[in-house]
A and B are shown apart, each in its own frame.
Chain A
Amino acid sequence: GQNIDQPTEMTATEGAIVQINCTYQTSGFNGLFWYQQHAGEAPTFLSYNVLDGLEEKGRFSSFLSRSKGYSYLLLKELQMKDSASYLCAGTPSGGYNKLIFGAGTRLAVHP
């Protein structure tokens, strides 16, 4: 199958930097999305990488290495409101823009 793997839970301190990793089968996907989901709410789009390298967007950055089947989301200057689940999702080869999601990483930010 087309597996996407990410850690189940992470904790970090307010003001710190945290990196959330995501690995996937290299033959299966065209690009990688990251979504944020607060408890009881809908996922919201954070970033999309289709080329190798780092994409920076304010406090959040996302990295992709297609040859290694590896992506990460980097969150800087953590705030309490960053406590949420972070979902990695791949777009399978073959079109239609459907997404295959990992199980999500629950991040808890502590004071």
Chain B
Amino acid sequence: DVKVTQSSRYLVKRTGEKVFLECVQDMDHENMFWYRQDPGLGLRLIYFSYDVKMKEKGDIPEGYSVSREKKERFSLILESASTNQTSMYLCASSRGQGGSPLHFGNGTRLTVT
């Protein structure tokens, strides 16, 4: 069974802090994704990666960056956290071929004060 693990379930940070959200998958998946989920807006794609050291912007990349140094790990970085980045962050992974389902981690609830 695929396991996607996010390092923190809950996180509270101050405005202006640099924040790292870590995600690890154990199924050798090529693709990894970071989404944020907000009430009424659904899941919105921030960044994704289809290979080590490769990254692509999603629909809302502003204020975020990512790092994928190893195949199993995909990190989301908030360079300078702001209150409008308070959200649920979900990491996912999938195999490379089209139609492969995304497998999600349990999410990190980030609050920026």
Contacts and interface: CB of A to CB of B under 8 A. Distances in A.
> Do A and B form a real pair?
yes
Interface of A: 8, 30-31, 33, 41-45, 48, 50, 87, 89, 91, 95-104
A30 B99 CA distance: 9
A95 B100 CA distance: 12
B31 interface: yes
A101 B40 CA distance: 12
Contacts of B98: 30-31, 91, 95, 97
Contacts of B21: none
Contact of A98 (B41, B58, B101): B58
Interface residues of B, number: 30
Contact of B99 (A31, A43, A96, A98): A31
Interface of B: 4, 31, 33, 35, 40-45, 48, 50, 56, 58-59, 90, 94-107
Q: Binding site of A, secondary structure by majority: helix, strand, loop or mixed?
A: loop
Contacts of B106: 41-42
B107 A42 contact: yes
Given A42-B90, A96-B31, A96-B50, A87 B101 contact: no
Contacts, number: 64
A96 B105 contact: no
Contacts of B56: 96, 98
Given A96-B56, A97-B94, A45 B101 contact: yes
Contact of A42 (B40, B42, B95, B104): B104
Contacts of B40: 8, 103
8 contacts: A33-B102, A87-B43, A89-B43, A91-B98, A96-B48, A97-B99, A99-B102, A103-B42
